[in-house]
């Protein structure tokens, strides 16, 4: 006790100030993680959309070629051997191109490969969005922890500092989940 019946809280206030500084550091890290995860999710969403658009374009081209080949096969036989041979070559070329549009492993641009790539981008997008949400929940816990810990200095109630520390631990767990296992919890 100091003079005039007051209790000296300076040592405790320093510990709470240090707690607040650590919470603010973790808040900054969680916010950085959230922004990075959000950017990755948006980027992968655009990638998936582009791949699905390419998939649809390939489907339209494939359908057009198959229809043209079927139509050409139904043309009446004129008896002209040259014309029949030319027509057969064209039908075969259209069918080969339509088949190539279905699967083209060498370029990764067949419909099968495009669908696989789009689904992979969607999986990364979904994981990144889950990470973003975990980081955001962690950030919210850090923000509330800072407010509660700050209130302990103003009010002189040490339990508030303990509550801030516990919320900081919760924030750390949530931000850690955002980094290591974002899809573990669905909040």
Please give the full DSSP string across 143-181, using - where no structure is assigned: HHHHHHHHHHHHH--HHHHHHHHHHHHHHHHHHHHHHH-
> What does the pLDDT look like over 153-180, one tens digit per residue?
999 999 999 999 999 999 999 999 999 9
98, 66 in Cβ contact below 8 A? yes
List pLDDT tens digits, range 117-145. Answer: 999 999 999 999 999 999 999 999 999 99
Q: Is residue 3 part of a domain?
A: no
Query: What's the sign of the alpha-carbon dihedral 160, 166, 172, 178?
Result: negative
Residue 185 lies in a domain: no
> Which comes out higher in pLDDT, residue 80 or 101?
101
Higher pLDDT, 64 or 187: 64
pTM for this structure?
0.82
Contact 130, 122 (CB under 8 A): no
Give the Cα separation of 112 and 56 in Å (integer): 12
Per-residue pLDDT band at 4 (split at 50, 70, 90): low
Q: How many structural domains comprise the chain? A: 1
Query: Domain range holding 131?
Result: 8-180
Q: Please provide residue 110's backbone torsions phi and psi, each rounded to the nearest 5 degrees.
A: -80, 165
Any domain includes 99: yes
Q: Is residue 173 part of a domain?
A: yes
Instruction: Please report whether residue 2 resides in a domain.
Output: no
- Identify whether 135 is part of a domain: yes
159 part of a folded domain: yes
Asked if residue 49 is part of any domain, the answer here is yes
């Amino acid at each position: 006790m100091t003079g005039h019946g007051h209790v000296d809280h300076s040592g405790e206030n320093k510990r709470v100030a240090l707690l607040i500084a650590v919470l603010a550091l973790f808040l900054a890290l969680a916010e950085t993680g959230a922004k990075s995860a959000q950017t990755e999710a948006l980027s992968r969403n655009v990638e998936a959309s582009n791949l699905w658009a390419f998939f649809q374009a390939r489907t339209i081209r494939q359908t057009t070629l198959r229809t043209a080949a079927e139509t050409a096969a139904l043309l009446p036989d004129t008896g002209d051997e040259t014309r029949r041979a030319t027509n057969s070559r064209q039908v075969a070329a259209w069918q080969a191109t339509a088949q190539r549009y279905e699967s083209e492993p060498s370029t990764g641009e067949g419909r099968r490969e495009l669908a696989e790539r789009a689904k992979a981008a969607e999986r990364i997008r979904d994981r990144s969005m889950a990470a973003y949400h975990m980081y955001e929940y962690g950030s919210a816990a850090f923000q509330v922890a800072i407010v509660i810990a700050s209130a302990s200095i103003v009010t002189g109630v040490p339990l508030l500092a303990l509550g801030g520390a516990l919320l900081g631990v919760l924030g750390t767990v949530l931000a850690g989940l955002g980094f290591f296992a974002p899809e573990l919890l669905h909040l």
